[in-house]
Amino acid sequence: MNKSIGLCFAVVLIASSVLSNAQAYERVELNHDRTSIEYSGPINSVAKVIEGYRWLGQTKEMNGGVVFEAYDNKYFGRADTSLGNAILVKATFYTYDQVSKEAIMIARQSEITGFVELYGMESPELQMHIQTVGENEFQAFSSKYDSDKPQKLMTYKKVQQFGKSPHGERLKSAKEDGTWF
């Protein structure tokens, strides 16, 4: 009797963990021309958490992270430009402790429910769909199409500094390190 109760309990635990891992995020269709101002409430609440901190990516493939800063939109409020209603963010991406890319990104409501989308002003294919999880963590998808693949969800944690590369400084040429003669 105790074995069958234990077996039932184990089956329930396994089923609930499988269901939670298979969670797909709901997507909604939004106007492609939506602006930041229309969704400034959710955008500002995410910005309060993520701006000015170092965020380390927490997957095996990531060896760095990102820092977000507010970016002054000199066109803000102007109706004659597409940036007139845009909230801009500067994202600096790191590989270990070295800057690998900087991008000015436009913030708007994501088509993934509960997320805010940041996309590159000059390269719209650069995207992050962000959801904060408390003050020290956020989760992100790199595309709205990844929301039905929970394994594509990336987790970032707040850190004081990014780690140094285990490979050290760039290797010197053979002539520079004295092995070439």
- How far is C-alpha 159 from the chain's CA centre? 15
The model's pLDDT over 126-159, given as tens digits with 9 standing for 90+, comes to 999 999 999 999 999 999 999 988 889 999 999 9
pLDDT for the residue 178: 60
Reported in sequence order, the residue ranges of 7-161 that DSSP labels E, i.e. its strands, are 54-57, 65-71, 87-95, 98-109, 116-120, 127-132, 137-141, 154-159
From residue 30, how far is each of 26, 40, 148, 168 by CA, in Å? Answer: 13, 15, 17, 46
- How far is C-alpha 24 from the chain's CA centre? 17
Q: Is the pLDDT of residue 23 over 70?
A: no
Indicate the average pLDDT of the chain: 81
The model's pLDDT over 46-63, given as tens digits with 9 standing for 90+, comes to 999 999 999 998 665 567
- Tell me the C-alpha distance between 61 and 45, whole Å: 29
Give the pLDDT band (50/70/90) at residue 97: confident
What domains sit in the chain, N to C, each tagged with a CATH number?
26-76+83-159 (2.40.128)
